[in-house]
Structure 1
Amino acid sequence: MLGLDLTAWVLLCCGALIVGISKTALPGAGTLAVAVFAAAMPARESTATLLILLLVGDLFAVWMYRRDVDWGILRRLLWPVVAGVVLGTLFLGVSGDDVVRRVIAVILLALLGVTLWRRRQESSAPPGRMGGYAYGSLGGFTTMVANAGGPVMSMYLLAMQLPVKAFLGTAAYFFFAVNLSKLPFHAGLGLLNTTTLTIAVVLIPLVVITALIGRMIAERIPQKLFDRAVLVLTAVGALYLLV
């Protein structure tokens, strides 16, 4: 079907399941979905297919966490993210698949190192305005070139010391707006076509299933376990992209 073999479809189904749960319970898992899709399809086309699924997951997350949002953080990130998306579009237009994957992996590993270092500081304060600008621009860049902005923003929201539901709600609104704004850019690059859209439609039910399961997990997961899961999943996804 659509030129994909059985192995590719199994990988895509696994990736779709990860998308749903990453949107409503474990944000750091999103990078694993990026890696799985890139293993099943050409990296550039995989970003367009994954974008549709991410938007479906975003819609569920926005609905589930509509009362748990830090609007101040979102306002602070607006313009840096726009700048990052524009830069990412230019980069995606001139870079090959291998370069895209490695650049994203290096960015994620660097941010992971910064986050771990900050968490070791006993009196580490949340990032200030300039820190928000830096994270926002990197989030816009990475989400445009590889749909990998989730881990960048996860590192930022962890640094802001948000509770689980406020974390998920703020991330939900942020990524719904960002992913929606990316649609015309992907269309302009010719990445949204009949093939990528058809694959996405086939996989949407899997995203819905795990998005609903993720809500139940978020209701029960302790804060410390949630924070550690985000860090571990970010590290695993970054290393996969690097290799």
Structure 2
Amino acid sequence: MITDPLFYLCAIPAVLLYGIAKGGFGGNIAILSVPLMALVMSPQQAAAILLPILIAMDMMALRTFRGRWDRANLRIILPASLVGVVLGGLMFRVLNDAHIQLMIGAIALVFTLNIWLRRGEPAPREASRVRGSFWGMVAGFTSFGIHAGGPPINVYLLPQKLDKTLLMGTIAVFFAVVNLAKLPAYIYLGQFDQTNLLTALVLLPLAPIGVRMGFWLLQRSNEKLIYQLCYVFLFLTGGRLLYQGATGLYHG
């Protein structure tokens, strides 16, 4: 088990941020968790420690939203996400974190800038098998290595302007399936050693605290604010990931 106090100074807020996102408040803030923990360890180890905690959070989120999700969208994005997870596992030794960070960062920035610079209020989009399959696959792929599937799936879901609870419930189901699908590959790749599992167990009690905080905030925020926060966090995290990816490639 990790005993360094500096690690817990980074890990505790990282887990709480993920829990708040799983509870439905500003989902894109979750993407900050792995980079925060990566200040004191490798991103791969941070992702391995977080995965069991995320699965526990997913189960809580499913119970919290209790069937309030969009089944039409899930029928499109879930199969595609599993293809993305398989691709992520196959490419795990080939692509480094910097490549994935650059890709997600560019997607997030271009998408949010397009939304903000567009004149007038765009009409809500319908669910699309073509778009949903593409973004579902991208989200599964980017989620595999550094748990960064949020921006791609939001690029697909946010323009549909779903009810806030329906949106967050759909995202909760999506990542519950994706995170469970990652388990066999993480085990095969040797990511779950004794140190990582014991450290995850120590951090696990923070999971329900974060999820309940997120759901409490979601219920007390109006729908317009939730969407505005999603776009703002998507832009900020996109910029952060773009910077991290460029820095990683430069120093690599």
What is the 5 A alignment of 1:1-80?
A: 2=2, 5-26=4-25, 27-80=27-80
Q: 1:213 deviation in Å?
A: 1.7
Indicate the SS of the match to 1:39. Answer: coil
Which residue in 2 is equivalent to 1:187? 187
Paired residues, number = 242
Deviates more, 1:179-188 or 1:87-96: 87-96
Instruction: Show the counterpart of 2:88.
Output: 88
Tell me whether 141-150 or 82-91 shows the greater mean CA deviation: 82-91
CA contact (8 A) 1:9 1:40 kept: no
> What do residues 169-209 of structure 1 show as CA deviations (whole Å, max 9, x unaligned)?
11111111110010001111111211111111111112211
- Specify whether residues 23 and 131 from structure 1 end up closer, same or farther in structure 2 by C-alpha distance, changes over 3 A only: same
1:201 aligns with 2:229: no
- TM score, norm. by length of structure 2: 0.88
Between Structure 1 and Structure 2, which shows a larger proportion of helix residues? Answer: 1
User: CA RMSD, aligned part only?
Assistant: 2.0
* SS of equivalent to 2:35: helix
CA distance in structure 1 between the partners assigned to 2:35 and 2:169 by the alignment: 24
Aligned to 1:99: 99
Match runs of 1:165-176 below 5 Å: 165-176=165-176
Q: Distance in 1 between matches of 2:164 and 2:37?
A: 27
* Residues 124 and 161, structure 2, Cα contact 8 Å, conserved in 1: no
Query: Cα offset for 1:70?
Result: 0.9
Q: Distance in 2 between matches of 1:172 and 1:144?
A: 16
| Residue 117 of structure 1, CA deviation | 5.9
Counterpart Cα distance in 2 of 1:111 and 1:122: 13
1:34-70 superposed Cα distances (whole Å, 9 cap, x missing partner): 2212223201111111211211211111000013111
Q: Is the 8 A contact 2:34 2:146 kept in 1?
A: yes
Report the TM-score, using the length of structure 1 for normalisation.
0.91
Whole-Å separation in 2 of the counterparts to 1:98 and 1:137: 19
2: CA distance, partners of 1:54 / 1:119: 38
Give the counterpart letter for 2:138 in structure 1.
Answer: L
> Which range moved further: 20-29 or 230-239?
230-239
Asked if the contact 1:104–1:146 (Cα under 8 Å) also holds between the matched residues in 2, the reply is: no
* Contact 2:73-2:127 at 8 Å conserved across structures: no
In the alignment, the residues of structure 2 paired with residue 140 and residue 52 of structure 1 have an alpha-carbon distance, to the nearest angstrom, of: 17
Q: Which runs of 5+ in 1 are unaligned?
A: none
- How much does 1:9 deviate? 1.6
Name the % identity. Answer: 31
Confirm or deny that 1:142 pairs with 2:142: yes
Q: Which residue of 2 aligns with 1:163?
A: 163
- 1:131-162 Cα shifts (integer Å, max 9, x gaps): 11111111111111210012222232212211
Q: Could you list the runs of 5+ residues in structure 2 that have no partner in the other structure?
A: 244-252
CA distance, structure 1, for counterparts of residue 186 and residue 57 of structure 2? 18
Give the direction of change, closer, same or farther, for the CA distance of 1:43–1:239 in structure 2 (3 Å limit). Answer: same
Q: Retained in 1: the 8 A contact 2:19–2:211?
A: yes
1:212 pairs with 2:212? yes
1:242 corresponds in structure 2 to: 242
- Code of the residue aligned with 2:168 in structure 1: it is L
Task: State how far apart, in whole Å, the 2-side matches of 1:242 and 1:214 are.
Answer: 26
Q: 1:232 deviation in Å?
A: 1.2
Change (3 A) 1:149 1:116: farther
